[in-house]
Structure 1
Amino acid sequence: MTVFRRASPPPPATRTRAVLCISLALVFASAQAQDAGALQAADPAHAGSAPPPLRLPDPGSADAQAQPADIAAARAIWQRANARVAEFPRGHIDLLRQEAGHTGPAAEPGGASAPLPLDLAQALRLSLRQRPELFTHADMNPLALAQVRVAYAVHVRELQRTWIDAVTTRQRARLLADMLDATRTGSELGRRMVVAGNWSQARQVREQLLEASAWQAAVAAQGEALAAQEQLAQRLGLWDAADVARLGERLPESLPAPPPTPSPGPGLDAGSIEAAALRSHPTLALERIAAQRQRAALGDDRRAAWQRAVDAALVALPDPGSAPTPPHIGDLSLLRDHALERAVEGDAKLLRLAAERRAMARQAWAQLQVQHAAALHAQNVVGPLQAALAQETLLRYNGMLQSSWELLASARERLASLDAAQQARRGFWLAQADWQALLAGADYADSATAPSSTGGGSAAPAGH
C-alpha cells in the first residue's frame, strides 16, 4: 500500500526569503514597465491611443417656430395635441419624457464588471512612482530629511486638490447636463404650444434663451471636467489617451460627506494648533537654537544700546504723508559690531518666521471650520428645504394647481442646489488638505483664494 506523507512546511527563514524574492521581482517588473512607458511616452514615433471623440450636446436652433396658417388648422392641431397629452398621467411632462426615451433608469447590464475605483490612497501611490526625489533615504541628515518631508507634504496636498477637482467637475458636468435636459423639455413644450396657437413667439424665444444658456453652462462644465481629468492624469504619470479616458470611470460618483465636527487631528485642540504648526516647520527649531546662541554671546548692554538707537530712529521717522524716508541709525559703533548684527538679524528673522507660522495655523484652522459649517449647512439645511419645495411643487402640479413651467423651474432649482452643495463639500475637503499639509511642515496655501477648475462655468438660470 502506498502511503502519502504530507510535506513538512519550510522553516520561517525560508518562507521569509521566498516572500522577499517575490516582492523584489514585482518591484523590478514594475520599474521595468515604468521605464519602458517613459521611453514610449517621450518617443515622437510612438503615436499612442487616439483620444475618444468629444461628444457635445446638440446646440439647438434660433429658428422661429411656424404658426398655423388659419383658425381651422390651429384648431385641428390643438385638438390632436390635447388628445395626445391626455394619454399620460402628468400630461406634457410625461409625454415629452416618453418621446425622449426617459421612461426610467436603465438597468445595469448583467455581469458587467466596473473598473477598479481610484481613491486618494491609490492615486498617491501611482503618483509617487514618478517622484523618486520624495523618497527618504537611510543616510539623510536631519535637515535633508525635513526638506523631503515638506516637499512630500506639498505633493500630497496638490494631488488631493487635483483629485478633488476631478471628482467635483465630473459630477458638476452630470448635473448641468441634467439641467440642460430640463430646459430642453421646456423649450420643446413651448414649441408645441406655439404650433397649437396657445403661445406667442416672444414666450418661446425666452425658453430658447434659457436652453441656450443651459447649453453654454453644460459645455463649459464638460470642458472643466476634461481639464481636471487631464491634470490628475499628469500627476499620476498617465500619458496614453485611452488610459486617461478610462481614468474618469474610476473616480467616485461624488466626494464623501464631511464629518459631523471638524477636528484638528489626533491629540490636538484649538489651544495646541500653533505649537503643532511650529514643531512641523523644518528649520524653525534650528533658527531658534542659533538665535539663542547669538543672544548668549552678546552682552545685555549692547542689546540695550541697539534698542535705544532703534527707538530714537523710529521717533524721528517722518510723517507717512510726506516723502517716504526710511529710519536712520548713525551710531557707527553699533553698526560695526558684527556679533550684535548677527544677533539682531537672527532675532528678527526668527520672530517673522514664528509669527507667520502661528498666523498660518490660525488662518488654516478658521478656514477649515468655516468650510465645514458651509458644507453641513448646504447638506442639512438648504438641501432638505430644496427637496421639500420640489416635492410640494410636484404635488401641486399633479393636482393641477401649478403649471408645467413651474415644475420645470423647480427641477432646475433643485439641480442648482445639488451643485451648490457639492461645491461646498469640495471647499471643505480642500481646506482639510491645506490643514493637513500645514501640520506636515508645508506653508499654508489657502485653496479658497486659489484658482480652481470648478469655478469657471455658470449654472443655467433656474427660472423665467
Structure 2
Amino acid sequence: MRRLYTPMLGRTAVGLSAILLAGCASVSSDGGLNDVSSLTQSRIGQAAHFKKDSSNSDAEIQALLAKPLTAESSVQIALLNNAALKVSFAELGVAEADFVQASRMRNPSFSFGRVSGGGDAEIDRSVVFDIAGLLTLPARTRIEHGRFEQAKLQAAAQAVQLAADTRRAYFTAVAAAQSAAFAEQVRGAAEASSELAESMAKVGNWSKLDQARERAFYQDAMTQLARTRHEAIASREQLIRLLGLWGAQQEFTLPDRLPDLPSQPQQMNNAEAQAMSQRLDVLAARRDTEATASALGLTKTTAFINVFDAGYANKSTTGLPRENGYQVSLELPVFDWGGAKVARAEALYMQSVHRTTDTAVRARSEVREAYSSYRTTYDIARHYRDDVVPLRKKISDEVLLRYNGMLASVFELLADSREQLMSVNTAIETQRDFWIAETKLQTAINGGSNTDTRTMP
C-alpha cells in the first residue's frame, strides 16, 4: 500500500459516490411483467398477467368456468391460474434484482486504527472506494440489463408454450369425450347384434360360427369402450392440470364436438422469416449472445487488474497537526495474469454463438415440419368430412333400403351401422389432429422449443 496526502481527494470521492448512487436503477413495480404481457399478447392474442390479488383472478376464472369451455377461454384460465407459469414469472424478480445490483457500486469501506504509548496516540482513518467497480459499472449494468431482457423473453416463451399445451389438451379432451360417446353407440349396436345372433342360434336359424363372430365383435366393442372412456378421463385430467383447477372447479363443461374446419388452410408465405423475427427462443438466444459478448469484453478489460481501490485517509498524532491524503490498493498480477478467465469467457461466448445458430436452424426446420403436418392433417380431415363420411352415409341409406325391401338381413344392417360409426370416429380423430397441428404451427412461428438458452454461470 502506498499513501500520499492531498486534501481534495476525500471530498471528490464522496461527491462522486453520491452522484452514482442517485443514478442507480431501482426495482420496478411490475417486475418486468408488463413487457412479458405485451410479448404474449402480440403472439397468442392474450396477455399473461400475474395478479397479486388472487380474489380478482378467482372471480374471473369462475365466470369463465360457468360457460362451456372454448380453446380461448381455456388458455385464458391457464394464463391466470397455472402455478408453474407463476414460478417462471417469479424468476423475473431474480433477474431484475441482478440488474439493479449490477448498477450499483460496492459500498465504501471504512477503517479506523489507534496506537498509543508513552503518552502519545496515533489515529488512522480511511474511507476506500472501489475504483475498478466504478470504471466497469456501465459495462456491468449493460450486461445485466441484457440478461433481464432475456429473462423477459424466456418468461413470455413459457406463457406461449403453456397456451399451446392448453390448446392441445383442450382439443384432445373434447375429441376423447366425443369418441367415447361414439364408442358407446358402437357397443350398443354390437350388443344388439350379439343378442339377436344368440336368439337365432337357439332356434337353429344361425350357425355357431356366425354367432361366435358377433359375440367376439361385441367383446371387442366393450374393450374399445373401456379404452376410450379412460382416454376421455385422462385427457380431461391433463387439461385440469394445465388450468390449475381443483375442487368444485373441476366440474366444468366441454362442448359436444370439436370446432369446424376452416374454409381454407393458411398459406405458409414468409413463415420462416416471421419465425426468425418474432420466435421467442430465437430472440432470447440472440440476447444471450449479445450479453456474453459484452461479458467477454469486460473480462478482457479487467483480466490484468480487476482490483483497484482508492480512498481518503487522514492521520492524527498527539501534538502534531492532522495529516490528510489518500491511499491506493491494487492487485498485483504475480500468480494469475487472467488468462484462464479470458479463455473461459471466450469459450462461453462461442458456446452462445453456436447455441444461437442451432436455435435458428431448428426453428426454420420446425416451421417447415409443422406446416407440412398442418396441411396434411387439413387435407385428411377435409377428405373425411367431404368424401368418406358422406359416402358411408350413402352406403348406409342403400343398405337400409335393401333391408326394408327384404333384400338384406338385419345383421347386414347392424354391420353397416358399425362401419359408419367407426368412420365417423376416425373423422373425429382427423379433425382433432388438424387443430393440434394448427396449434403446433403457431407455436413454431411465435414461441419455440422448450430449450433454455441461458448461459450457466
Shorter-chain TM band? 0.5 to 0.7
Contact 2:377–2:437 (Cα < 8 Å) also in 1: yes
Contact 1:360–1:444 (Cα < 8 Å) also in 2: no
- Structure 1 residues 30 and 339: CA distance shift in structure 2, 3 A: closer
Tell me the equivalent position of 1:442: 448
- Structure 1 residues 263 and 201: CA distance shift in structure 2, 3 A: same
Pair 1:29 & 2:55 matched: yes
Contact 2:275–2:364 (Cα < 8 Å) also in 1: yes
Tell me the equivalent position of 1:276: 274
The one of 82, 93, 113 equivalent to 1:130 is 82
Pair 1:259 & 2:262 matched: yes
The within-5 A match list for 1:297-316 is: none
The one of 411, 414, 425 equivalent to 2:417 is 411
The one of 422, 425, 433 equivalent to 2:431 is 425
Q: Which amino acid aligns with 2:182?
A: L
Pair 1:213 & 2:220 matched: yes
Take 1:235 and 1:360, find their aligned partners in 2: how far apart are those partners?
Answer: 24
Per-residue deviation, 1:202? 2.9
Take 1:33 and 1:339, find their aligned partners in 2: how far apart are those partners?
Answer: 50
Contact 2:193–2:411 (Cα < 8 Å) also in 1: yes
- Structure 1 residues 347 and 29: CA distance shift in structure 2, 3 A: closer
Q: What is the percentage of aligned positions where both structures have the same residue?
A: 27
Pair 1:118 & 2:124 matched: no
Q: How many residues align?
A: 295
Q: Which amino acid aligns with 1:275?
A: A
SS of 1:123's equivalent?
Answer: helix
Per-residue deviation, 1:352? 2.3
Contact 2:150–2:288 (Cα < 8 Å) also in 1: no
Tell me the equivalent position of 2:398: 392
- Structure 1 residues 423 and 133: CA distance shift in structure 2, 3 A: same
More strand by share: 2
The within-5 A match list for 1:104-115 is: none
- Structure 1 residues 29 and 388: CA distance shift in structure 2, 3 A: same
Per-residue deviation, 1:255? 0.7
Contact 1:438–1:444 (Cα < 8 Å) also in 2: no
Structure-1-length-normalised TM-score: 0.57
Q: Deviations over 1:53-92 (max 9, x none)?
A: xxxxxxxxxxxxxxxxxxxxxxxxxxxxxxxxxxxxxxxx
Per-residue deviation, 1:125? 2.7
Take 2:216 and 2:414, find their aligned partners in 1: how far apart are those partners?
Answer: 15
- Structure 1 residues 377 and 346: CA distance shift in structure 2, 3 A: same
Q: Deviations over 1:368-394 (max 9, x none)?
A: 111111111111111111111111111
Tell me the equivalent position of 2:201: 194
SS of 2:205's equivalent?
Answer: coil
Q: Deviations over 1:140-197 (max 9, x none)?
A: 6421211111000111111111111110110111101100111111111112212322
Take 1:392 and 1:149, find their aligned partners in 2: how far apart are those partners?
Answer: 56
Q: Which amino acid aligns with 1:147?
A: Q
Tell me the equivalent position of 1:371: 377
Take 1:123 and 1:167, find their aligned partners in 2: how far apart are those partners?
Answer: 12
Structure 2: stretches of 5+ with no match in the other structure: 1-50, 97-147, 298-341, 452-457
Tell me the equivalent position of 2:181: 174
Q: Deviations over 1:325-346 (max 9, x none)?
A: xxxxxxxxxxx98898677656
Tell me the equivalent position of 2:234: 227
Deviates more, 1:274-283 or 1:175-184: 274-283
Take 1:230 and 1:379, find their aligned partners in 2: how far apart are those partners?
Answer: 29
The within-5 A match list for 1:232-381 is: 232-240=239-247, 243-244=249-250, 246-247=251-252, 250-263=253-266, 269-270=268-269, 272-279=270-277, 280=279, 281-286=282-287, 347-381=353-387
- Structure 1 residues 400 and 144: CA distance shift in structure 2, 3 A: same
Take 1:148 and 1:285, find their aligned partners in 2: how far apart are those partners?
Answer: 15
Take 1:147 and 1:33, find their aligned partners in 2: how far apart are those partners?
Answer: 28
Structure 1: stretches of 5+ with no match in the other structure: 1-24, 38-113, 297-335, 446-464
Contact 1:176–1:214 (Cα < 8 Å) also in 2: yes
Take 1:26 and 1:345, find their aligned partners in 2: how far apart are those partners?
Answer: 38
Contact 1:282–1:441 (Cα < 8 Å) also in 2: no
SS of 1:283's equivalent?
Answer: helix
Computed over aligned residues only, the root mean square deviation of the Cα atoms, in angstroms, reads 3.6
Take 2:167 and 2:445, find their aligned partners in 1: how far apart are those partners?
Answer: 15
Tell me the equivalent position of 2:158: 151
The one of 396, 404, 408 equivalent to 1:402 is 408
Structure-2-length-normalised TM-score: 0.57
- Structure 1 residues 407 and 26: CA distance shift in structure 2, 3 A: farther
Computing the radius of gyration from Cα coordinates, the structure with the larger value is 2
SS of 1:375's equivalent?
Answer: helix
Contact 1:150–1:441 (Cα < 8 Å) also in 2: yes
Contact 1:291–1:347 (Cα < 8 Å) also in 2: no
Per-residue deviation, 1:215? 0.7
Q: Deviations over 1:2-56 (max 9, x none)?
A: xxxxxxxxxxxxxxxxxxxxxxx9966346889xx9xxxxxxxxxxxxxxxxxxx
Contact 2:190–2:214 (Cα < 8 Å) also in 1: yes
Contact 1:294–1:342 (Cα < 8 Å) also in 2: no
- Structure 1 residues 28 and 231: CA distance shift in structure 2, 3 A: closer
Take 1:380 and 1:337, find their aligned partners in 2: how far apart are those partners?
Answer: 64
- Structure 1 residues 370 and 162: CA distance shift in structure 2, 3 A: same
- Structure 1 residues 190 and 27: CA distance shift in structure 2, 3 A: same
- Structure 1 residues 223 and 28: CA distance shift in structure 2, 3 A: closer
